[in-house]
Amino acid sequence: MSKDLSNYRKSYEKQELLESNCPKKPLDLFKQWFLTADESDSVEETNAMTISTIGVDGFPKSRVVLLKKYTEEGFIFYTNYNSEKGKAIAANNHICLSFFWPALEQQIIIKGKAVLLPKEASDGYFESRPAGSKLGAWASNQSSVVSSREILDENLKAYENKFKDRSIHRPKHWGGYLVKPISMEFWQGRPNRMHDRIRYTLMKDFSWKVERLAP
């Protein structure tokens, strides 16, 4: 069974990205784009991003995770440290984040180094989560093989009983990462595949070099 996709094409004509409109810092441009996407009725889950890591098996792997905060330092997300993703980052903390908002014909690609958040920061975010999400962090041994859905449901029920009438504290195997960017590329779709690509690269003096890339 096969399907020819060679005629799947779209002309990108909504916006442009020029050097004259680019701020000196990439996080300022990220904020502009993110807020525009977040206010758009045509973009769902603006904070959904693809995280790519190099696994302990040597293969790259990508998955969609939710961005929970961005600051002048970088980008924050949370996960199970014992998951496949967590083990990959422990072995090689050079990762890539990407955002794609098709309705705006925009993409952002971020290369950076992931570092563990302080325990206090992870505790604070965990406390803000709904009870069900807190229990899920305890009940799921993320990325491990399970024999059935029933096992997951039984684990969740067990932790519901364990924490009944008790506060649900953060498990040590769960917490946040801060991704400190070293490169950020902004892609704006343009007609005739002549897209705008602007890349920011962090220099040794912590300034950012801005370059246009060929599409």
Q: Which residues are catalytic?
A: 193
How far is residue 85 from each of residues 11, 58, 95, measured CA to CA in Å?
35, 13, 10
In the DSSP assignment, the letter for residue 57 is T
Please answer whether residues 51 and 100 qualify as being in contact, where contact means their C-beta atoms are separated by less than 8 angstroms: no
Please answer whether residues 36 and 104 qualify as being in contact, where contact means their C-beta atoms are separated by less than 8 angstroms: yes
| Other beta carbons within 10 Å of 203 | 10
Residue type, 212: R
Residues contacting residue 118 through CB under 8 Å, at least 6 positions apart: none
H-only helix segments in 40-116: 84-91
CA atoms within 13 A on the CB side of 12: 20
Please answer whether residues 209 and 19 qualify as being in contact, where contact means their C-beta atoms are separated by less than 8 angstroms: no
